[in-house]
Amino acid sequence: MHIGIDLGTTNTVVSYAKRKARGGVEPHVMKITQLDEYNNSVQEEILPSVLFLDFDKNIVVGKKAKQMKQYHPKRTISNSKRYMGTSAIFEIDDMKFTPVDVAAHILKMCKRTIELNSGEKPVQQVTITVPASFNTDQIRDTRNAAIKAGFDPEKIRIIPEPTAAFIDFINDQFELVEEDRKIDISTPKRVLVFDLGGGTCDIVVMDVVQSENCLKVEEKAVGRYNELGGIDFDKAATKYLLSKFYDENRIKEGDIESDEQTQMANKLVVFCEKAKEFFSNQVMLNPEIEKTNPSFKINIPEFWRGKSWLFSITLKEYNDATRDLYYSSGTKLKTIEEFEKCKNIVDPIFETLERYEIDKNSIDYVFATGGMSFYYRIIQRLKELFPKSQVIRAPNPIEAVARGASIFSFYEVEIKRQTEKPSVLDIAVRKEASAEMEIVTRTVLAEAIMIDVEEGLPREIITKNQPVPYKGVIKNSFRVSSPSGIKIDIYAGEDPYDCKMRIQKSFIGSFRSPVTPGTPIDIEYEIDENKYLKLRVIVNDSMNPPIDLDVDSDVKTAKQKV
């Protein structure tokens, strides 16, 4: 089977692709078996990316876990994707979970679903999507989670979420007659993909063209990693409602214990998420309904001191509460704390265009995907920002990424198989596939990769926007400072002077034999198509073998080759 998995911040989706009888490829979203809040086994196409540890220490993932977050917030882990690539630890009772552990449990649910749907047939390739802005550490953690979940390391492929969503869209367009297509890429076009999911905002500018049956997707710019998504809109509305509740009931924040405040906020986040979906559906059915200012009401059980409470919010109230997220702060932000306080959808777009010196008028299409693109105000704002571009929303943004990943997986496996020494069967299959697409992608790094050997200013070894795969070597630029070993720090950022530059990893390699301080070293580096980074340190003496610094592993101590 050709599998695609959208391992999302808030929701995870699994898809498989198969060949149509008349040619072409058709993706299908799998229903994932999970428990609901009443412990009933249900099958749904969306698996909430939430983990709950019950009081018997059983791990529950999915719909029930999401529901339990309202009542047992300290026993649930959500939005853990935001911590991939870090050393974060989530602790419940005496059990500790890393972001990789949480992702592995989610992917195990996906793997079980795949096995049930395939009749235990082998998976030819699993393509897992990540934000285009994910750095090498975040990608490494995603891959390690897949391996921990039981997927074959040799059959794991990582691709950017925006690329996957766009591939799904083009695959659908490929089936239509020319006059019904929403996009014309028979000649080269520039597309800005705006992917606003539950927890991340991904900006990618790509040049695309479809020549006969070959789709070429070339990334020209990738925005920096942005922790902005649907959860931030829900939290903004929650903050408004909680403040309103305190005022109406003459409650001071100090009168309520922190645990109860957290529980109240978690319940309101769920309420606001439902309100957002309600307003989206209402406006989609009747665009004029915005003028009537509809309201959403629901009774929240056991909201405060064991009492239920009827909550309501109007469309205008929701939009006013989240207004700041649609507009730039207009100030030059210098610290991560300032970025956190001034989150909005505008800055990531124009910072990306500015970093890569791309004129916004060169954008032919703006393609919106991700769960938040369902909300009508997002599309309205994109049209305001790009009045000369055609703004298109993915037909089903919740499923698009997983579907596109499975389509990519299908074509990559089939193309590779057909380019090997053909048999009579292969030639027959190739003839059958002659009407299908070939997908050629070119991905680039969102940020530069830098290393520091001497605890000085980090040195850039791979520039931002560098196409991958890529490899190189630095000769005689660094020298040994300790006779026993070497320490190398790896950084990611715009450049060595970037205020948002962050350390990705530190490695310590021990020498087999003492080395005279001042001995020069060479550093070989390589980053593959999945953006996995590996380094090798070569000491220029005759006593020490090369030291491999494998960024694709969890081992922080380097390995020496014999």
List pLDDT tens digits, range 195-227.
999 888 999 999 999 877 788 888 888 888 788
Task: Note the pLDDT of residue 119.
Answer: 77
171 closest CA partner among 330, 402, 515: 402
pLDDT digits (tens, 9 = 90+) for 260-316: 888 899 999 999 999 999 999 999 889 899 899 999 999 999 898 889 999 999 999
Instruction: For residue 64, give both structure tokens.
Output: 């029930």
Instruction: For residue 274, give both structure tokens.
Output: 């439902």
- Asked whether residue 426 carries a pLDDT value surpassing 90, the answer given is no
Who contacts 250 (Cβ-Cβ below 8 Å, separation ≥6)? none
Higher-confidence position of 529 and 396: 396
Task: Note the pLDDT of residue 341.
Answer: 79
Helix axes 397-419, 424-432, angle to 10 degrees: 140
Task: Note the pLDDT of residue 333.
Answer: 64
Mean pLDDT over 401-427 rounds to 69
Task: Note the pLDDT of residue 365.
Answer: 97
Higher-confidence position of 333 and 345: 345
DSSP 41: E
> Which of 376-390, 396-410, 493-507, 509-523 shows the lowest mean pLDDT across its residues?
493-507
**Residue type for 518, please?**
G
Map tokens 């997986």 to a residue: 409
The mean pLDDT of the chain is: 86
Task: Note the pLDDT of residue 519.
Answer: 87
What is residue 522's three-state secondary structure?
Answer: strand
* Cα dihedral 226→230→233→235 (10° resolution): -90
Q: How far apart are CA 546 and CA 543, in angstroms?
A: 10
Domain spans, the chain: 2-184+398-442, 230-324, 448-560
What predicted TM-score, i.e. pTM, was given to this entire model? Answer: 0.82
- Total length of the chain: 562
* Contact (CB, 8 A) for 444 and 468: yes
534 closest CA partner among 475, 484, 473: 473
What is residue 223's three-state secondary structure?
Answer: coil
**Residue type for 541, please?**
D
Instruction: For residue 392, give both structure tokens.
Output: 């298109």
- Asked whether residue 349 carries a pLDDT value surpassing 90, the answer given is yes
Alpha-helix runs per DSSP H in 149-257: 161-174, 230-248
Instruction: For residue 66, give both structure tokens.
Output: 């999401």
Per-residue pLDDT band for 142 (boundaries 50, 70, 90) equals very high
Task: Note the pLDDT of residue 126.
Answer: 94
Per-residue pLDDT band for 456 (boundaries 50, 70, 90) equals low
Per-residue pLDDT band for 541 (boundaries 50, 70, 90) equals confident
- Asked whether residue 457 carries a pLDDT value surpassing 90, the answer given is no
Alpha-carbon distances, residue 94 vs 90, 259, 295 (angstroms): 10, 19, 44
Q: How far apart are CA 315 and CA 279, in angstroms?
A: 7
Which phi-psi region, left, alpha or beta, contains residue 302 (left: φ > 0; alpha: ψ -120 to 50)? left
* Contact (CB, 8 A) for 124 and 155: yes
Domain 2-184+398-442 fold is Nucleotidyltransferase; domain 5 (3.30.420)
- Asked whether residue 79 carries a pLDDT value surpassing 80, the answer given is yes
Q: How far apart are CA 297 and CA 273, in angstroms?
A: 12
Task: Note the pLDDT of residue 451.
Answer: 85
State the DSSP H helix or E strand holding residue 19, giving kind and residue range, or none if neither. Answer: strand 11-19
* Contact (CB, 8 A) for 352 and 203: yes
Task: Note the pLDDT of residue 58.
Answer: 95
Mean pLDDT over 251-257 rounds to 83
Mean pLDDT over 250-259 rounds to 84
* Contact (CB, 8 A) for 126 and 409: yes
Per-residue pLDDT band for 405 (boundaries 50, 70, 90) equals very high
Chain centroid to CA 323: how far?
24
Beta strands in 252-402 (DSSP E): 295-304, 307-314, 365-369, 390-393
- Asked whether residue 435 carries a pLDDT value surpassing 50, the answer given is no
Per-residue pLDDT band for 555 (boundaries 50, 70, 90) equals very low
* Contact (CB, 8 A) for 2 and 117: no
pLDDT digits (tens, 9 = 90+) for 108-134: 999 999 998 887 677 778 999 999 888
Task: Note the pLDDT of residue 173.
Answer: 87
Mean pLDDT over 45-68 rounds to 95
- Asked whether residue 30 carries a pLDDT value surpassing 80, the answer given is yes
- Going by DSSP bridges, is the β-strand pair 95-97/214-222 parallel, antiparallel, or unpaired? unpaired
Domain 448-560 in CATH 1.10.3720.10:
no
Question: Which CATH number does the domain 230-324 belong to among 3.10.20.30, 3.40.50.280, 3.90.640.10, 3.40.50.150?
Answer: 3.90.640.10
167 closest CA partner among 361, 427, 468, 441: 441
**Residue type for 192, please?**
L
